[in-house]
């Protein structure tokens, strides 16, 4: 059990850091693309409920983007 705890507290191996960096970059790119789609969808919204949902989705995507950039 103490061996498992020591591994959790140790620094991540270099490969894991590279994998995390690649994952964060991929997620940031996908989030930015999704935000562009929400902007396009918002032009087609006809009522306030749809606009509110687009706004909420944009806020969640922005939060994800900031997490990927390390700014949250």
- The domains of the chain are located at 20-69
Instruction: For residue 24, name the pLDDT band (cuts at 50, 70, 90).
Output: very high
Tell me the mean pLDDT in the region 7-12.
66
Q: What is the pLDDT of residue 11?
A: 72
pTM of the model: 0.70
CA dihedral sign, ordered 57, 59, 60, 64: positive
Are the C-beta atoms of residues 27 and 69 closer than 8 Å to each other? no
Residue 16 has pLDDT above 90, yes or no: no
The pLDDT mean for the chain works out to 85
Distance between CA atoms of residues 52 and 58, nearest Å? 10
Q: Give the model confidence (pLDDT) of 28-39 as tens digits.
A: 999 999 999 999
């Amino acid at each position: 059990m103490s061996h498992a705890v020591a591994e959790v507290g140790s620094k991540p191996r270099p490969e894991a850091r590279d994998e995390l960096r690649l994952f964060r970059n991929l997620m940031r790119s996908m989030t930015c693309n999704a935000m562009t789609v929400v902007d396009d969808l918002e032009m087609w919204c006809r009522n306030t409920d749809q606009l509110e949902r687009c706004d909420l989705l944009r806020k969640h995507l922005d939060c994800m983007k900031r997490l990927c950039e390390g700014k949250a």
